[in-house]
Structure 1
Amino acid sequence: MTDLIQDVLNSDEKKNLRQFATLLRQSEKKYLLRNEILNTFHDYCKQQENYEHLYHNSYLSKLVYFTQEIILDSESLCLVIRPQIATQQAYRLLDDFTVESVSIQELLDLRDRLVNRHHPQEGGVLKIDFQPFYDYSPVIRDPKNIGKGVAFLNRYLSSKLFYDRRQWQDALFNFLHLHHYKGHQLLISDRIQTQQQLSNCVKQALTLLANYPADTPYENFRWELQNLGFEPGWGNTADRVHQSLEMLDQLIDSPDNQVLEAFLSQIPMIFRILLVSPHGWFGQEGVLGRPDTGGQVVYILDQVKGLEKQLQENIEQTGLDVLGIQPKVIVLTRLIPNSEGTTCNQRLEKIYGTNNGWILRVPFRDFNPKLTQNWISRFEIWPYLETFAIDAQKELLAEFQGKPDLIVGNYTDGNLVAFLLARRMNVTHCIIAHALEKSKYLFSNLYWQDLEDKYHFSLQFTADLMAMNAANFIVSSTYQEIVGTPDSIGQYESYQSFTMPDLYHVVSGIELFSPKFNIVPPGVNEDVYFPYTRTEERKLSDRQRLEDLLFTLEDPTQAFGKLQDPNKRPIFSMARLDRIKNLTGLAECFGKSKELQEHCNLILIAGKLRSEDSTDHEEISEIEKLYHIIDQYNLHGKIRWLGVRLPKGDSGEIYRVIGDRRGIFVQPALFEAFGLTILESMISGLPTFATRFGGPLEIIQDKVNGFYINPTDQTEMADIILEFIAKCNHDPNYWNEISQRSIERVYSNYTWKIHTNRLLSLAKIYSFWNYTSQEQREDLLRYIELQFHMIYKPRAKALLDKHMQQ
């Protein structure tokens, strides 16, 4: 990047840079982000005679394109440049156009000064630096391979097996000895004492199995294998056992990364899985749309069903049904005594559609019953999580009759509890962010003190740092969730370095090139969400009831707005009423476009109709805003707003009813980490328009099986929808083409079968990696524990003291 800056300074464009810098200084803002920089540069270029060259082809335009931030102080411009994904550099441009490199620490100090929080005379601020703990671990080199951690790790491990053969073969041998289930030894017994003996016995077993037909049941030769030292777990037929042992033989003699992955994925080592999700209202009915309760609940419940099914299939295929082994999956969440008619006050609840899937609810300790007996916002639960983990551990050990084999954390609070439980029980664990709040709220770290009373970001961001570094592996739904796009910073990338003024400086918060990151997109529940064309699977009574609800039912407790012409093409959206989901932005877009109103009705399903029914300040604000927009643009007769919580079966049919009327689904979020509703609408056959900020960029292929929209540009959003409608009017088959492609896209990439297979494979491979590199992790975990006790706990205690006074 210094070469590009020098190219600008050594050319005639130096004058343009000076003029552009002068224009920037005229702004009242001292901290400019990428969009503001690009817009200002565009405005500047339009005033120049050589506009085309300057804006599109100049050195300066390239420099501006790569500039992520500009910080203005009295003596210089500080340019924060992102030359490629996952990499940032900073430079100071002085008034005389001298260029100086700016270190991370200097940049963090500069940001502190910007908010008058820089106090060097007082001895500085705590520095958090995780980089030394990754210096001796394998790292990915190519940014394109970020999120493909397990593929990289398999290559790394197989090379170790090849070059340090004795050490790694011993590690593999010892790892195979570890596995047992409730007193039953699995895989290899004490008859096999050494790695060399294992190699010899594998070859004898392969010779033995060659005498049996491929489909011979395991029980027919079980005792012969056990005499050689091989216990159950290799397969349920002669062919499957032969495949497993042949892979082991290859690994011993000639390691290969693909063989290693296939072999480790096939080993039976996971039977009991714990999913952690403390906040919100976690239940199966009557909870969606309540505060803090949405797609994450749907995701986890569907994941439980997929995991149990896959575990059962794996048990049968590895021949462990002879031992009567049954999988068990538990979702750990919070018990809410004042449950408001939900099941959230039940300690144990069976999950529908499972044999052994359960919701286990553990209450927060009653430090202040006036608070802890009720729902608590996800921004306020931090003081209760440590004791919640301690209490939950006892109940989990009882329910599982032992330790879980894998712990999966969800969202920041669940990820922190997952870390605490995994540390206490020494279990492999992974985290799933769903959304990192730091990316949602602009400058949330820089101005954390101003936001602390409302959001407590000091606790949340500290918990994020601890959880993401402690995790054995991280599951991301998309690539951009980790490192963004060439135009935007990823959610995890935003934790690379940042300041929490007066609290700490994060010099290195996460190693983005670590192989712990893996992209595993979720699936969609195919029993509930399926194409509208599968009429034989739809209930006529449900269809008619939901048609009435969507378009004609007059019930002020459930619906606001009577449609003048219910037969117009419906524009449909369904989400919680909060700022990020931006349903009010969609309503405003519709209100500003007379042409959209002429062709379409707007149908919104959100949680509530009346602000007095909500206790969530953001939801109340959005409710009031939506009423204001309806009045401001006179949308009466053109919009219908349903304040209902739909059972899952109804939500699937709702999409199909919209499909019957050749409607469309619009997801207008200001940011969306992934977007389960997008999968739901696409598999139902609805042409889907989704935000270009976040996960939808990787789900939808623009203008092929859906459409990108910019929710911050309402004119453009309306134009994209209108262009689609115009094409449908010109060619009635166009709607069908997009509909069919959207269905195909989901079935080929986003099923729970694909997801659960991948997740279980990752867990097994990282368990092996964790076993072989245990000593390196211990230093890291102790560093994280230090942060927990020195930063997190005192701040959580202060928040608890505040709660006690309420």
Structure 2
Amino acid sequence: MSDLIQTVIDSEEKADLRQFIGLLYQQEKRYLLRSDILRVFSEYCSQAQKEDSFFSGSLLGQLIYFTQEFILENESLCLVLRPVIARQEYCRINREDLRVEPLSIQEYLDLCDQTAGRFRPQDGDVLELDFQPFYDFSPSIRDSKNIGKGVQFLNRFLSSKLFQDPGRWQQRLFQFLRLHRHNGSQLLINERIQTLSQLSAQLKRVIAFVSARRPEEPYANFRFDLQSLGFEPGWGNTAARVRETLEILDALLDSPDHETLEAFISRIPMVFRVVLVSPHGWFGQEGVLGRPDTGGQVVYVLDQARSLEKQLIEDHTLAGLEPNPKVVILTRLIPNNDGTRSNQRLEKVYGTDNVWILRVPLREFNPAVTQNWISRFEIWPYLESFAIDSEKELMAELRGRPDLIVGNYSDGNLVAFLLARRLGVTQCIIAHALEKAKYAYSNLQWEELDEQYHFSLQFTADLIAMNAANFVVTSTYQEIAGTADSVGQYESHRTFTMPDLYHVVSGIDLFNPKFNVVPPGVNENIYFPYTRAEDRTPGDRERLEQLLFSLDDPDQAYGHLVDPGKRPLFSMARLDRIKNLTGLAECFGRSPALQERCNLILVAGKLRAEDSTDREEIAEINRLYEIIDRYGLDGKIRWLGVRLAKVDSGEIYRVIADRQGIFVQPALFEAFGLTILESMISGLPTFATRFGGPLEIIQDGVNGFLINPNALEETAEKLLEFVSKCEANPAYWQQISERAVQRVYSTYTWKIHTTRLLTLARIYGFWNYGSQENREDLLRYVEMLFYLLFRPRAQKLLERHFQRDSIE
């Protein structure tokens, strides 16, 4: 990128560069992020009366496009450039002679500290965290477009090893097959086969044996014949299935390729007991949604658990085994349960055979705190002891070790690491949202924010979990590596500083094949198209229609609609800053034209600030009332403060669709967006933020629409344009509705998700065994961060909790 800078300097735009730099130094800020940079450059183009094409078509415009940050020193301008996705460069331009010189990562981090008002008196006085050496000898993805396709890369890598060094890798595959047992019984291969050559010879005999039998003949009929030849249960439930599996193995040994490797490994019965970890919030099946810290993650984990059991039953049945998987959702027990079931140790998940919510109480360091709900930002001091106590509970409940542990969110991922480390189990993490990407300057201003958010603990926990994990599941590509003009959530953890705490020189290797994009689905029993009248309950539809449009109950609804027949603009989310429902209300308030043709209906937590203990929710409640008053929205808005049952949340989308309404998701940032899938599969045309996961779910203008939640007038115009098209052509609403439904069914189902997740668990299990990659040095480094950085800070927070009567 230094070449592009030099090209600008050597061109006729050199004067423009000087003038633009001069305008930068007129700004109050000395640290400018991308949004600030684009704003200032737009001001320059306007002041200099540049043609519209100059903004993006000029050499300077191209340089600005690739710039993520500016740091303004007295004598020079420092740039953070992102020439391609997932790669950054650092350089400095001297203000006097425009001389360009590179910056090291360490120099860049020092400058960030100085910008934040932290001056280092001498070199070497700050802790540097660098994980890159632990990845130097691991296989690495080269092309950034393949980030998030870790298992495909790993399959190709492993199959090439099987081809290049067949003796070594085939022997490891053979040993791997001999490992598997379940409930004390040997699976796959018994002691009659002692060597790889014996396996190869016996494969031919067994394939010939099962080929001579009827394809549909049950495995039980010839089980003992196969055992006498060295083959135990696990190959298939019929003669045809056994033959198919053995032929895949035979092909893998003779001529390995990545597709054959995945096809075979994905059939190995090695996952029977799964633990999903989600400690914070009110985790339950009823009466919890809409409470603080309780939303999409609860829905995600419950649906994932149900689908996992269903898929495991199918896999075990096809393998010829008695299907008896067990899935446990590990969360915390809350004694003061506020009418929920959060004080019950065990709760069976509806519609399953053997899926359970297991709640483990926090130790009573201060009962006034630990017996109540605790914010996700405050739960850190209790996680280590929670993991220790949970290990005993899980071993008793599962009657042995789990085969896979999946962490959820930062706290669950840390507990998953602690459990997996103690039990020697494959660990997967799912972030759902990394808070660092949500809050601008959160790392630079961590000390000021620590009183409320405790980012020093959270960011450290994130570094620990993402590096310790065997594999990482994300919902979208951009969650990992961003887009051409925005940094990904994981990418934001690669290089950063927390002044006076530590510098992160390399926090995560985005090109490591541990990353996999596996989007979730929706519960198709609850969320389905509004056109499926035979699956809808008329009484529910009528009740929810009344709730949405006319019910006069101050405890459940605020606002009376003067004209309930207008097209409804609908949104449903928690009332917090990031979800930005108040921004949608302001967008609606600023547009008289939108008010004339639509009503705004919000389902959003509580109606009264005094009923909440969450600071962000209280602020948003007060702001929503202020917006309603400022723009005179009485008669045009309905605000429901209700916690909906799951079946009601599904039907409520369909009721809005009955009236050809619109779903709007206005979040400032959305890691994925389950409500977007829910609305789309229900048949609602959906408008969603372009910041985050919706960018990959919605094809703008085809099966939905993307909006900039910061551009209120632009969003209102986009909504009005859609409404006008629908009024001019009634079939247009239906076209977008049908395409939205098709999009979800083709890509976002739990069947697709859990099949892929279990394949990942098996492939990474084989990789960890077969590669004999020494992860112990990495895990020791991670443990050092936990014991020397995380634990002391968590202990200080615990000491503060001892002084409190409750946690708000």
Kept in 1, the 8 Å contact 2:56–2:65? The answer is no
The 1-side partners of 2:9 and 2:729 are apart by: 54
Decide whether aligned partners of structure 1 residues 658 and 52 sit closer, same or farther in structure 2, where only a CA change above 3 A counts: closer
Task: Describe how 1:381-780 pairs up with structure 2 within 5 A.
Answer: 381-780=379-778
Local SS of the residue matching 2:450: helix
**1:196 maps to what in 2?**
197
Check if 1:794 corresponds to 2:775: no
The 2-side partners of 1:12 and 1:750 are apart by: 50
The 2-side partners of 1:420 and 1:102 are apart by: 37
**2:314 maps to what in 1?**
313
The 1-side partners of 2:266 and 2:481 are apart by: 27
Give the aligned residue type for 1:192.
I
**2:4 maps to what in 1?**
4
**1:373 maps to what in 2?**
371
Give the aligned residue type for 2:310.
K
Give the aligned residue type for 1:614.
S
Give the aligned residue type for 1:618.
E
**1:268-308: per-residue Cα shift (whole Å, max 9, x none)?**
10011000000000000000000100000000101111000
Decide whether aligned partners of structure 1 residues 594 and 52 sit closer, same or farther in structure 2, where only a CA change above 3 A counts: closer
The 2-side partners of 1:546 and 1:518 are apart by: 39
The 2-side partners of 1:496 and 1:652 are apart by: 39
The 1-side partners of 2:704 and 2:85 are apart by: 26
The 1-side partners of 2:798 and 2:307 are apart by: 38
**1:49-97: per-residue Cα shift (whole Å, max 9, x none)?**
5534532322111111101110001110001100000000011001211
The 2-side partners of 1:443 and 1:635 are apart by: 35
Give the aligned residue type for 2:60.
L
Aligned-residue offset at 1:388:
0.2
Q: 245-254 or 512-521: which moved more?
A: 245-254
The 2-side partners of 1:151 and 1:120 are apart by: 48
**2:345 maps to what in 1?**
347
Kept in 1, the 8 Å contact 2:405–2:416? The answer is yes
Kept in 2, the 8 Å contact 1:275–1:409? The answer is yes
Kept in 1, the 8 Å contact 2:266–2:762? The answer is yes
**1:42 maps to what in 2?**
42
Kept in 2, the 8 Å contact 1:118–1:501? The answer is no
**2:78 maps to what in 1?**
78
Local SS of the residue matching 2:715: helix
Check if 1:302 corresponds to 2:303: yes
Aligned-residue offset at 1:436:
0.2
The 1-side partners of 2:27 and 2:123 are apart by: 32
Give the aligned residue type for 1:226.
Q
The 2-side partners of 1:171 and 1:103 are apart by: 42
Aligned-residue offset at 1:776:
1.8
**1:275 maps to what in 2?**
276
Give the aligned residue type for 2:584.
L
Kept in 2, the 8 Å contact 1:431–1:471? The answer is yes
Local SS of the residue matching 1:187: coil
**1:635-679: per-residue Cα shift (whole Å, max 9, x none)?**
000000000000000000000100110101000000000000000
The 2-side partners of 1:571 and 1:207 are apart by: 64
Task: Describe how 1:21-32 pairs up with structure 2 within 5 A.
Answer: 21-32=21-32
Q: How many residues align?
A: 803
Aligned-residue offset at 1:210:
1.5
Aligned-residue offset at 1:191:
1.1
**1:147-206: per-residue Cα shift (whole Å, max 9, x none)?**
000000000000111111111111101111111011110010111111111111111111
The 1-side partners of 2:56 and 2:43 are apart by: 13
Q: What is the TM-score when the length of structure 2 is the normalising length?
A: 0.99
Aligned-residue offset at 1:214:
1.3
The 1-side partners of 2:772 and 2:298 are apart by: 33
Kept in 2, the 8 Å contact 1:234–1:244? The answer is yes
Kept in 2, the 8 Å contact 1:233–1:319? The answer is yes
**2:207 maps to what in 1?**
206
Check if 1:263 corresponds to 2:269: no
Aligned-residue offset at 1:120:
3.6
Decide whether aligned partners of structure 1 residues 774 and 276 sit closer, same or farther in structure 2, where only a CA change above 3 A counts: farther
**1:294-323: per-residue Cα shift (whole Å, max 9, x none)?**
0000001011110000000011100002xx
Aligned-residue offset at 1:329:
0.3
Task: Describe how 1:99-138 pairs up with structure 2 within 5 A.
Answer: 99-121=100-122, 123-138=124-139
- Identity across matched positions, percent: 68
Aligned-residue offset at 1:34:
1.1
Aligned-residue offset at 1:524:
0.4
Aligned-residue offset at 1:209:
1.3
Give the aligned residue type for 2:13.
E
Give the aligned residue type for 1:242.
R
**2:290 maps to what in 1?**
289
Aligned-residue offset at 1:48:
3.0
State the Cα RMSD in Å.
Answer: 0.9
**1:250 maps to what in 2?**
251
The 2-side partners of 1:578 and 1:585 are apart by: 11
Decide whether aligned partners of structure 1 residues 52 and 653 sit closer, same or farther in structure 2, where only a CA change above 3 A counts: closer
Kept in 2, the 8 Å contact 1:552–1:562? The answer is yes
- 1:360 alignment partner, one of 358, 361, 373: 358
Give the aligned residue type for 1:330.
V
The 2-side partners of 1:34 and 1:238 are apart by: 61
The 2-side partners of 1:518 and 1:50 are apart by: 44
The 1-side partners of 2:420 and 2:165 are apart by: 30
Aligned-residue offset at 1:774:
4.1
Aligned-residue offset at 1:122:
7.1
**1:560-586: per-residue Cα shift (whole Å, max 9, x none)?**
000001111000000000000000000
Local SS of the residue matching 2:356: strand
The 2-side partners of 1:678 and 1:686 are apart by: 9
**2:164 maps to what in 1?**
163
**1:496-520: per-residue Cα shift (whole Å, max 9, x none)?**
1000100000000000001000000
**1:309-356: per-residue Cα shift (whole Å, max 9, x none)?**
0000011100002xxx40100000000000001000000000001000
The 2-side partners of 1:57 and 1:532 are apart by: 46
The 1-side partners of 2:518 and 2:784 are apart by: 31
**1:240 maps to what in 2?**
241
Kept in 2, the 8 Å contact 1:291–1:616? The answer is yes
Unaligned runs of 5+ in 1: none
The 1-side partners of 2:523 and 2:548 are apart by: 23
Local SS of the residue matching 1:320: coil
The 2-side partners of 1:50 and 1:449 are apart by: 42
Local SS of the residue matching 1:43: helix
Check if 1:18 corresponds to 2:18: yes
Q: What is the TM-score when the length of structure 1 is the normalising length?
A: 0.99
Aligned-residue offset at 1:45:
1.7
Local SS of the residue matching 1:597: helix
Task: Describe how 1:54-65 pairs up with structure 2 within 5 A.
Answer: 54-65=54-65
**2:143 maps to what in 1?**
142
Unaligned runs of 5+ in 2: none
Local SS of the residue matching 1:243: helix
- 1:327 alignment partner, one of 315, 325, 328: 325
Aligned-residue offset at 1:429:
1.1
The 2-side partners of 1:601 and 1:340 are apart by: 34
